[in-house]
Amino acid sequence: MPSEYRAAFANSLSGFKPANLIGTVNSRGQTNLAIMTSVVHLGSHPPLFMLIVRPGGEDRHTLRNIIETGTYTINHVNAEIIENAHQTAASYHAYESEFAKTGLIEEWLGNFSAPFVKQAKIKMAMQLREHKELSINKTHMVIGEATLIIVPDGSQYENGAVNIVEAGSVAISGLDSYHDPRLIMRLAYAVPDQPPRHLD
Amino acid sequence: MPSEYRAAFANSLSGFKPANLIGTVNSRGQTNLAIMTSVVHLGSHPPLFMLIVRPGGEDRHTLRNIIETGTYTINHVNAEIIENAHQTAASYHAYESEFAKTGLIEEWLGNFSAPFVKQAKIKMAMQLREHKELSINKTHMVIGEATLIIVPDGSQYENGAVNIVEAGSVAISGLDSYHDPRLIMRLAYAVPDQPPRHLD
């Protein structure tokens, strides 16, 4: 298989992925924004999320900024900003900010040092907790703790989960496909030898 | 926040997640099947995928089996088997197989030692490459290489990606919500200072 074909194939095999914009800034105030599909929930007490960052390409500015400042933001891509978000993957020069280039607006909240995306409805301020290069293929594991979490008013289910469909969050498959996930069903906590119970 | 509320909240914040069934067997031939939402693409040359496994609960049988045999399978949950897949999360005894209990059928392919899910359309045989407990919160990072990949005939786009919508794969949000992701758009590789280009 040719290399690009193989990459598109492998990227589609894990299933649907979250669409997040990672906002960072370097020590000279230059901002950066990058779309990533590798955010994974790692724990809830405290809220920890892992991010896998590739060593080359556009991602390297994001990684360098996270290590330099110890902070970053995670912003959900919603249906209104798909094209802007995708465009952040273009190879801009280090002195150019993807914010200025893509129409996504920098938002600075409180005294947090990294920029949020104004158009995002769900966003988190992240403090770097651990960074490690994985020897197996030189990708980088970045673990952060959410220290500020912003979700739309009234968007939480009774159990605490955010209704991310209502917030317009999208999913990605492969490298280029954006999806609008309709709710099929919600199921109660599974119990042995009892049939699955639907939630309203 | 109460602990369960906090867990549901945090689990919803990374965005949409893939829905995969992890098939394993122990050295005495006892099979296990567990739904997990933490599979992440790690690399394409070779095809590597990371899985985050919690240290307790049902996941511990999966983890023990992967370490014992060095193999596991990743099977996409599709819309027809959502309830069966969700039921694998119930706390069955170690001597009970989630296959027998949930109506999902064991499939043994070639001489690969771990069971696949017969009803799944996209599935991979995985060889364990690295396992590490993350000191930050005692979750386990499991990295595996796909040594056999099964996808439906004619399901690949021209660029190599599998059309996982057509294969019926579903997405999960939070701990209990299953989604059917409709395609909104496909976008070509992003290029600086050129508008996003739509793919057919």
Q: Is A56 on the interface with B (CB under 8 A)?
A: no
CA distance A69 to chain B (A): 20
Asked if B182 lies within 8 A of A179 by C-beta distance, the reply is yes
The H or E element that residue B149 is part of is strand B140-150
Residue A59 pLDDT class (50, 70, 90 cuts): confident
Asked if A42 lies within 8 A of B82 by C-beta distance, the reply is no
The H or E element that residue A43 is part of is strand A39-44
Asked if A149 lies within 8 A of B180 by C-beta distance, the reply is no
- A-B contacts (CB, under 8 Å): 316
Residue B1's pLDDT is what?
82
Position A64 pLDDT exceeds 80: yes
CA end-to-end distance (rounded Å), chain B: 46
Exposure on the CB side of residue B82, measured as CA atoms within 13 A: 21
Task: Report pLDDT digits (tens) over B78-133.
Answer: 999 999 999 999 999 989 999 999 999 999 999 999 999 999 999 999 999 999 99
> Model pTM?
0.97
Task: Report pLDDT digits (tens) over A81-99.
Answer: 999 999 999 999 889 999 9
Burial of residue B123, with CB atoms counted within 10 A of its CB: 0-12 exposed, 13-18 middle, 19 or more buried: buried
Cβ neighbours of B161 in A, within 8 Å: 8-9, 11-12, 173-177
ipTM value for the complex:
0.96
Q: Is A122 on the interface with B (CB under 8 A)?
A: yes
d(CA A18, CA B35): 18
DSSP state of A15: -
Over chain B (200 residues), the average pLDDT of each successive run of 10 is 94 98 97 97 97 84 96 98 97 92 97 98 98 96 98 96 98 97 96 93
Average pLDDT in the A138-164 region?
97
Q: Is B52 on the interface with A (CB under 8 A)?
A: yes
Percent of chain A with pLDDT over 70: 100
